[in-house]
Structure 1
Amino acid sequence: MRRKHGLSLHRTGELKYGKERSWPDPARNTCLRLFDINALRNAMVRFSQDLKYRVCLSCDLSTREIILSGMLKRITLHNFMSHSHTVIDLSPGLTVLTGPNNCGKSAFVSALQILADNTSGDFMVRHGEKECRVIVETDDGHMIEWKRKKKTVSYNIDGVDFHRLRNSVPDQLHEILKLSKVKAGDADEFDVHFGEQKSPIFLLGDRGSRAARFFASSSDASVLIEMQKLHRSKVKTAQQEYQRQQNELKQAEIALELLKPIPDLENKLELLNLSYESLQKEQQQIRNLEAFIQEFQQAEQRVSRLSDTVATLNILPESLQQENEQPLAVLTQRFVAIEYKTRVKQLQISALQTLTVPPSLQETDQLEKMIREILSLEQVAKSASATGDCLKQLNEPPHLAETESLQKMIQKLAVSEERTRIDRQESRVLESCQSPPELIDLQKMEQLCQQWEQAADQFNAQCSLHAKCESEYESVRIQLLKWVEENPSCPTCGAELEPDQFIRTAETGLQGHSHGT
């Protein structure tokens, strides 16, 4: 006599209630130890009340199936096996499902098992439908949905979707349901939550070594071994982390050692910046002096031209009316002042030339702009002051006479002087030139060029024809070589054909292969 039953516990615990009975098994010649179903049910109720665990038990006794549930509050099946849409609200203590065989009671246990393990296959999809769903709600507010559509499986846990799982399940699932398989060692897994109806009782159909490993895994020794493995792993990880931190510490010490000279470098950098600013100011003064010198040279050139003009005017008869000399006196005074400033600036330049080369410059656009503005204002102020000093020493200007005719004469003299200078330059250039060559008849040269062009065209045509012949010759040569390779012997006399001699004969046109006797 054999009874089929399945047992599902959300948390493992030692079952101490119930009366045991034994029935002989003629097929195995052993004794099966089973619990009386009534005593087992009462024990499970007391067990769930004492430890506040929720237990799910499925027992097929031909006409009824019992599901003892907790933790799970509601189970919803949609297009799952024979259920189109079924919702069951589980009671806090015990929920009993009764009915005839094949009415869909076991589908709920299968749904929980598929939800926990993500079983492969599409046998659970209702006939004629494209997808099926299993929805479970727990007392602590979690909602888990498993959905299969064709070959795709997805989970939705508390509103978060999980796709592309293949045959695995999300990590959050086991934390919420606590229906995962128990691992014993590295390879064995035991399902202590679900029992198949058509398979033997748990562990009785397995090998003795597997049962021994299961009972050994439930002892303290296996727990200690697992804890030792976990401790070794943590120690190894901690050592690696310590080694990494030591390496980082050494690198940080090296970096700090390299950064020690930074304060001294900062002080030196500040001194260099001050030196650089002073050199920038001096360099700006030098540029201003150079500009002033250039202006002075231009003024000197103008004075020279005016002196030449005055010398030219002195040649004129004395009976001419004397012009006002006051502007010339003003220019002379300005020339003396400019000459004095030039000597002062030259002394400053000679003093600045003894300085060392300034360091490399950096971007100081704003500072340079401000310095230029200040220097330009100083220059304007100095110029205005010098002009005022000069004007104070002057007397009142006399009455100016009519100088229009003299001005016209000066302009004519300037034009004549410019023309004379240009004529002299042209004469010097022409003196250095050679006399032009004699012209000859260019008709023969044109004929020769035409003949040369015709010859070049003929040569290009012959070159293209030669290249075409070369390509044809190369193709025929390759064909002959291939023919000789394919026919190594003469088809007439059977003598051996030499490729080189064959090609050489074809190129020279001499007598080629002679047939043997």
Structure 2
Amino acid sequence: MINRIIIDNFMAHEHTELELGPGVTILTGSNNTGKSAVVEALRCLATNPARSPNPALYIRHGAKEARVEVEVDDGTRVAWVRTKRWAKYELWAPGAEEPEEYHKLQGKVPEDVARALRLDPVELETRKDLVDVHLGNQRDPVFLLNQPDSVMAEFFAASTESAHLLAMQNVLKMRVRDAKREEKGLEGQVARVAADLDRLAPLPELTLRMDGIEELDRTAARLEQEVPALEAALAEFRALDGRLSRERSAGAALQGVLAPPEVEDVGRLGRHIGSMASVEAQLGRAGRTAGALAELDAPPRAEEAAPLHRLIRELDDTGDILRAALSRRAVMTSLSEPPEPADAGGLAAVVDDLLILRARSARFTRLTEILGGIAEPPAPQPLKRLDEAVSQLGGLEEQFLLKRTELDGLEKDLSAVVAAMDERIKAVGCCPVCGGDLTTDNFLDHGCRHES
């Protein structure tokens, strides 16, 4: 059944579209409004009339060609195009994007078009002329209503067994046509799938590149794991560098300190060191006594004993200095020998120096107590390996950035390929072998597997 009629530049119609509903459609209107032209357009579509009458009569004045198109209930579209010199048919199968064209008709209707329209005239055994049971002229009724009863009886008689045979033959022809059309469509689909598979030829190379990317990713992960250790080493290097700077500053500050006097008699020094314990005990008791006597007035100074008392204190301070010198002797072994001490001069100068050394000894004792809980600084390690590690870290960072840039480019290429694959797989719709669902994800994961 015809659902839609489109007429362009045919006789009086410039452009007309008719939507036909179910059942009977009736065209009404005044004279010369184009009702008969609609019937004539359908007749031209169904019979492809020859050059007589003049085909220019079908073409609207000023146009180059006339066109009549119908759409039937199964979605098939048929168009008849007529110019002054030739005629052609266009046949769209349901869902097809491009029509199949028929040229060089020689006044005939192609079989595919006739099967799609189903408007063929009927041939009777006793009549040479074909009987049109679908279309009628303006003054001739349709379906043999103006013919004798014998003609109608012959028509109905011919439409019994022979009609069934013709119907069966038509069904067979339609099946053959559908099979050929399906075969042609499958061949085209196979060609498209082959083209798509050709486009997927770079996939092995992409797989190799992906393996390289994964290796680079593992290398990058390993480098990222090594970065904290290198950062810790760099932080330790910076701490050691700061501590070394402080030690150098302390060493520069100690350069102005006078060198200790030369130790001439080690035996005397040992004995003096042995007596230092009792002196320290006496100093402790003296300190406690001084604390108890702090509120008392100082005793009168014995002038004749004062130099001796200062000398004893200076000897005590000298003992403290000697003990400190022994503890630092391992550090100062690389130093040159101290110069020959000059003449001490007068006893008063010696006493003044001893007082100064006592004050320094007291400060040194306090510093020793404060620094007693501090561990010895670690020995500075050679900086060559750390410099090599830092330079290697810089090279690794540059290599990591380069690999990261290459990885981003490969990811963009992969995204473009996956997008193209997704577009082509969506166009295919299903697996051409098994007919199953086919998506980009399962195709990339394991392909479309088929059970034997």
- Which of 1 and 2 has higher RCO (CA within 8 Å, sep 6+)? 2
Higher strand share: 1
Fold conserved between structures, TM > 0.5: no
TM-score, scaled relative to structure 1: 0.28
